[in-house]
Chains A and B, each alone.
Chain A
Amino acid sequence: MVRIDGPSCPHRWPSAPSRSAVALNPGKDQPIETLVINGAECEPYITCDDLLMREQASDIIDGVRIMLHVIAAKKAVIGVEDNKPEAAQALRAAIESAAVGDRVEVAVIPTLYPSGGEKQLIRILTGKEVPSHGIPAQVGIVCQNVGTTAAVADAVLHGRPLIERLVTVTGRAVAEPRNYRVPIGALGETLIAASGGYRGEIAKLVSGGPMMGFRLETDAVPITKATNCLLALTTDESPDPGPALPCIRCGRCAEVCPANLLPQQLYWHARAKELDKVQDFNLFDCIECGCCAHVCPSHIPLVQYYRFAKTESWAREQEKRAADHARERHAAREARLERQERERKAKLRKKKEAVAGGAAASAKAGKAGRSAQGADADKQAAIEAARRRAAEKKATVAKTEQAAQPQGSDTAAASGLPPVDERKGAVLADDPAASRAGSGAGQQRAEPQGAGQPVAEGSAAEPSAAGEKPAAEQAAVGEEPAVERPAAEKPAADRHLARRETAVQE
C-alpha cells in the first residue's frame, strides 16, 4: 500500500509550527535521547543558515536549551558543514558563554550534498537510520533546523512570532548576490531589485536551491517562511541538458543516491508506468535530491519521472480509496434495502394474520386493527419522505461538487484542506516540461493546478496571508500574468526590507 506521507523534501524547513510541533511531540513511549540541530545548508549556493549561525549563535543556543527542556533530551548535536568554520566558531563561543558545553556540542561534518537532508544528517551525526516512512523520534532523535531553533528562542524569550526570515538572493544572473532579512510576505522582485536587478542573460529563476528548488515563472511572488533562496541562474550555470538519451545502465546514479536506491531501475519502471514495480524498488524512499539526474550521462530528467510516478501512485491510491468507499456504500445500501424489504414482508404477514384473526374478532378489536393499519401507512409515508429528502440532498451535493471541481487549487486552499506540499506543487508547475521534453511520461495529469486560474489574487496582494498558505502561493506562482498589486504597497514593502550587508562587511 502506498503511504502518502507528507512532504517529499527531506529538509526541515524552519519554523513550520505544525510540523515542528509534531516533531517535538514524539509520544510518551519513545524517550528522546538526542536533539539534532541541522546547521548544514540545504543546498549549494544557499548561505542564509550560515549567516544565521554567525549572527545569532546565542539565539540558536537559547533555542536549543528550550527544546532540550521541552523534549527532555540528554544532549544536542549541532551539525555544521566544514565549509562554515566561522559559524562553527560562533556556535562554540555561544555554547561556552551559556555554559552548556556538557549538553550541547558542535559537530563539523564534510560538505557533501545532501548532508542537509534530515535523515542523512541524522545518520552522519549519530550513525542511526530513520526507518523508511518513519520519523526520527522512532530512533530517539528529534531534528530541527537552526532557523527553527532561533525562532523558538524569539517566540519564547522575546514573545516575537515568526514574521521575518533570512533569504539568500544569488546566482550569476543577479548583480549583487546577498542575504537579506525580510518580513515574510515581501516580494521576490523587491529582493531582486535590492540586489541590483538581473544581470546578463537569465535562464531560470528558482525558489530554493539548484538541486531541489522549483522554477518560478515570475519574481512577483511573496517570500514564505519556507523560502530560503531566490536563485537566478544564467545559461552557463544551468544549461539546457538537451534531449534525454536512453539509459546506458552505467550505475552512476546508484552510486550517488543518498537513499541507496537504484535510480536506473526506478526510471525504467516509472517510464513503463509500472507503479507496483517502482514501489518494489522503494520509490517512496526517494527524497528527490536530484543527485542521480545531476550525474546521469544520458541527461535523463530522472527526478521528474519519480515525481510523476509518485503522483500517479497517490492518484491511484486515492481512486482506490474512492472506489472502496463507493463499494462499501453500495453494499450498505443493498443491505439496508434488503432489511427494509424483510421488515415490510414481516409486517405484511403480521397484518394478514391480524386480518385473518380479526374476521372472527369483536368490533372493538376490529377498530383497534384499523388504527394499527393507519399507523403503518403513516410510517410508510414517513419513510418515503425521508428517502426523497435524502435523494434530493445527494443531488445537491453532487451538483455543488461538480461546481467546485474546476476551481482547482484555490478551492483546496480555501476549503482548509491541508496545503499542497510545495514539492508536489513544483511537479505540477513543472509538468509541461515533460510534454515538451517529449519524454512521454510527464504528460499525464498535467492539469497544472496553479496555472491560469483567476484565483488567489486576494492572497497574493496580501503577502502575509499568502505566506501562511503555500497552496495559495502556488496558485500565484503558476499564474502567467504577474498579479497586479496596488501601487501604494510597493514602497511599504521596501520599507520592510531591512537590508543587511552580509559576509562582505564582516
Chain B
Amino acid sequence: MTMTIISSPHSARVNRVDQVMVQVCLALIPGTAALVWFFGWGVLINMALATVFAVTAEALVMKLRGRPALPAISDYSAVVTALLFALTIPPTLPWWMTLLGILFAIVIVKQLYGGIGYNPFNPAMAGYVFLLISYPVATTSWLPPDVSALLEARDLSTLSFLDSVRLIFTGALPEGLTWDAVSAATPLDELRTMLDQGKTIDMIRESPLWGLFGGRGWEWVGASFLLGGLYLLWRRVITWHIPVAFLGGLLAVAAAFWLVDPQGYPFPTFHLFSGGAILGAFFIATDPVSACTTRRGQLIYAALIGVTIFVIRTWGGYPDAVAFAVLLLNIAVPMIDQYSQPRVFGHGRGERKKA
C-alpha cells in the first residue's frame, strides 16, 4: 500500500489558482460584450492577439529560465494579464504595439521579477503605461462609442470583422474613411480639453460624448464590468475591500469637489462610469500579487488609488489615470502591509464583545 506522505491538513483543498483565474476570465464577459457592442470587433481581435502573445512569451521565458513551461501557463495568469491589457488599449491599436506591450508586461514586469507571485507591479497596467508613454497618440485615440452607427450615417458598411483585422494588421482603413472620421476623444479627454477652454460643466454636457450618468457608451461598459465584478464577489474570488475602498475613495473626493463647484468639476458618477474606473476597481486593483495582502492594507491601498485617480484626472497630464494610480500604489504596498498588520489573537487589549 503506498500512501502519500504529507503533513496535515489532510483535507481536499478548496481553491485552485487556475480556477480563480478562469473565474476572472468569465467575469470579464459582460464588459467585453459591451465594449464589442460599442467599439466593434477590434476589442476581440486584440484580446485574442494579446492572449497568444502572452502565453507564448510566458512559455518562452520559462524555458529560458530552465523551468517547466506547462505549469506556468496552465495557471492562466498570463491569460488574465493579456485580457486586462487588451481591454485597456484602443480597439484599433496596431498588432505590434500589442506585442510590445505584452512583452514588456510578461517578460520584464512579471518574469524578470520571478514570475507569478513575485511581481511588485501589475503586469497589465505596466505594459499599458509603457505603451502610453512610448506611443501616446496611438494609445489614446479611441473610436467614438457607437462607431457602427456613425459609419452607417456616412453610408458605409460597418467596420466589419475583416476591416478590423486589416486595420490592426496593416493600419489600412476601409475605403473612404479617414482617421479623423473614425477616431474620437474619450469623454475624459473631451472633458479635460473643454474645461481647459474655460467652459462650464453645463456647456460641456451638451457634447454628444456625454451620456446619462457617465460618458456615452462608456457608462454601459462600466455597468457591465460592474456586473462581472459582482459575479467575482459572489463567487468569492475577490472580497469587497478593494472595490469598495477604490470606488469609495474616488467617489468621495469627486463628490467633495463637485459639491464645492458643480460647474468646475463633473458629477461624481461621471468619474465612476468613465474610463477604466470600474474595470480597475474590480479587476485590476484586485490583482492579489501586486496589491496589499492585509485587509486593512487593502482598504488603504484601494482608497488611495481612488484618490490618486481623481488627482491625476483633474490636475495631471493624462486624461485617465487608473494605470498610473495602480502602479504608484503598487510601490507603496510593502509599506502599507508593514503598518496594517492585524492584531494577533491574544496580543494587546483585544477584548472584543462577546460574539
Contacts and interface: CB of A to CB of B under 8 A. Distances in A.
B14 A294 contact: yes
Contacts of B118: 246
A247 interface: yes
Interface stretch (B206-214, B219-227, B336-344): B336-344
Given A249-B288, A298-B17, A131 B12 contact: no
Contacts of B8: 206, 208, 210-215, 288, 290, 303, 426, 430
Interface of A: 44, 119, 123-124, 126-134, 202-206, 208, 210-215, 231, 233, 236-241, 243, 245-252, 254-255, 258-262, 264-265, 281-282, 285, 288, 290, 293-299, 301, 303-304, 307, 426-427, 430, 432-434, 436-437
Given A258-B345, A260-B345, 18 more contacts: A202-B1, A205-B3, A206-B8, A212-B8, A215-B7, A215-B8, A237-B11, A239-B12, A246-B117, A251-B288, A254-B342, A259-B344, A260-B342, A295-B14, A296-B13, A298-B117, A301-B7, A303-B7
Interface stretch (B93-101, B157-165, B290-298, B312-320): B290-298
Interface in B1-52: 1, 3-17, 19-20
B183 interface: no
B5 A432 contact: yes
B344 A264 contact: no
B355 A124 contact: yes
Query: SS class of chain B's interface: helix, strand, loop or mixed?
Result: loop
A487 to B, nearest CB: 23
A459 B12 CA distance: 35
What are the nearest 3 A-B pairs in CB distance? A246-B117, A290-B9, A127-B354
B336 to A, nearest CB: 13
Interface of B: 1, 3-17, 19-20, 71, 75, 77, 114-118, 239, 288-289, 291, 293-295, 298, 337, 341-347, 350-355
A243 B18 CA distance: 13
A211 B344 contact: no
A119 B345 contact: yes
A322 B80 CA distance: 53
Contacts of A132: 344-347
Contacts of B5: 215, 430, 432-433, 436
A204 B341 contact: no
Contacts of A260: 342-345
Nearest to A289: B9
B69 to A, nearest CB: 14
Contacts of B20: 250, 297
Contact of B115 (A239, A246, A282): A246
A251 B295 contact: yes
A288 B15 CA distance: 19
A245 B289 CA distance: 13
A99 to B, nearest CB: 27
A429 to B, nearest CB: 9
Nearest to A44: B11
Contact of B291 (A126, A249, A297): A249
A355 B17 CA distance: 92
A461 B337 CA distance: 54
Nearest to B72: A245
A436 B5 CA distance: 8
Nearest to A212: B8
Contact of A293 (B9, B239, B353): B9
Contacts of B337: 265
B351 A285 contact: no
A433 B289 CA distance: 28
A262 B345 contact: no
Contacts of A231: 10
A248 B291 CA distance: 10
B289 A203 contact: no
Contacts of A265: 293, 337
A434 B1 CA distance: 20
B8, B13, B117, B353: most-surrounded residue (chain A CB, <10 A): B8
A260 B344 CA distance: 5
B123 to A, nearest CB: 13
Given A282-B344, A285-B345, A297-B19, A247 B117 contact: yes
A261 B341 CA distance: 8
B10 A249 contact: no
A299 B295 CA distance: 21
A241 B13 contact: yes
Nearest to B286: A250
Contact of A251 (B3, B116, B294): B294
A299 to B, nearest CB: 5
Contacts of A213: 8, 10
Nearest to A253: B293
Which interface residue of B342, B345, B350 has the most chain A CB atoms within 10 A? B345
6 contacts: A119-B345, A130-B346, A202-B3, A212-B9, A245-B116, A248-B116
